[in-house]
Amino acid sequence: DAGVIQSPRHEVTEMGQEVTLRCKPISGHNSLFWYRQTMMRGLELLIYFNNNVPIDDSGMPEDRFSAKMPNASFSTLKIQPSEPRDSAVYFCASRLLLTGQNLNTEAFFGQGTRLTVV
Amino acid sequence: AQKITQTQPGMFVQEKEAVTLDCTYDTSDPSYGLFWYKQPSSGEMIFLIYQGSYDQQNATEGRYSLNFQKARKSANLVISASQLGDSAMYFCAMREGHGSSNTGKLIFGQGTTLQVKP
């Protein structure tokens, strides 16, 4: 199993540019999370999907951020336009969500994308 | 409102000694799960241990154990016989659900940095 795959691993962009982060969850997982990690704010949940449907996007900072999950094997997080304060490590994680039961499976994380906006 | 609280930004422990990392949580959902993750300096997020709200016994995984005190809403991580490789940041996380629907939102505390001294 290749695990959760994120691309790119590192991204340096100029302020005002559009940035797209990509995530391929583990095959068979039906729940996907996007997190942002900074020194000041820790690990923040931005948005999560269950069965490709966005469930909670209350953590998305503002309208400049958008996320999509067109199918079970791919998700994107887009920032347009990017700003220096968006600089952070962005993690994607996936897990197998079993509804109707009190069963818990852990979330598996990708290696993260380190975004620097200059 | 923050649901997961880790009050120790940093901790030191002598090699081979045990250490406890604190975590308190807040939820009104009777069904929830608690997780601990380790993040070494390389940046990846590594799942360590899980405790379900209905579990009668404290979870253990090798040198990791979870001191679950439901009435106090605490889920402290105990690492026994610390090793130099345990030096990392540790995150407590909670999976919220809505009873049987189990929507699976996973939120994290601010983290505790542990340094193991030789």
Kindly write down the DSSP assignment for every residue of A38-102, as one continuous string.
Answer: ETTTEEEEEEEEETTEEEE-TT--STTEEEEEEETTEEEEEESS--GGG-EEEEEEEE---TTS-
pLDDT of the residue at A81? 96
pLDDT of the residue at A99? 65
The whole-number average pLDDT for the span B61-90 is 97
Q: What's the token pair of residue A111?
A: 């290696």
Q: How far apart are CA A48 and CA A67, in angstroms?
A: 9
Chain A residues in contact with B95 (beta carbon < 8 A): 104
Contact B104 A45 (CB under 8 A): no
Give the lowest-confidence range in A36-50, B78-92, B101-115. Answer: B101-115
Instruction: Give the closest-approach CA distance of B37 to chain A in angstroms.
Output: 10
pLDDT of the residue at B28? 85
Residue in chain A lying closest to B95 (CA): A104
B95 vs B101, higher pLDDT: B95
Is residue A8 reached through a cis peptide bond, with omega within 30 degrees of 0 on the bond before it? yes
The whole-number average pLDDT for the span B65-86 is 97
pLDDT averaged over every residue in chain A: 92
B12 contact A CB<8A: no
B29 pLDDT more than 90: no
Q: How far apart are CA B6 and CA B108, in angstroms?
A: 9
pLDDT of the residue at B100? 47
Max CA-CA distance within chain A? 46
Burial A89-106 (b: 16+ CB within 10 A, else e): bbbbbbbbbeeeebebbb
The whole-number average pLDDT for the span B11-17 is 97
Q: What is the DSSP secondary structure assignment for residue A107, as one 8-state letter?
A: P
pLDDT of the residue at A85? 96
The whole-number average pLDDT for the span A42-62 is 92
B35 contact A CB<8A: yes
The whole-number average pLDDT for the span B83-111 is 83
Residue from B82, B44, B80 nearest B64 by CA: B80
Contact B102 A101 (CB under 8 A): yes
A72 CB contacts (<8 Å, ≥6 apart)?
A25, A30, A51, A52
- Mind listing the pLDDT tens digit for each residue in A58-104? 999 889 999 999 999 999 999 999 999 999 999 999 998 876 554 57
Residue written as token pair 């691993």 = A9
Chain centre distance of CA A47: 7
pLDDT of the residue at A103? 55
pLDDT averaged over every residue in chain B: 91
Residue A85 sits at φ, ψ, to 5 deg, of -70, -5
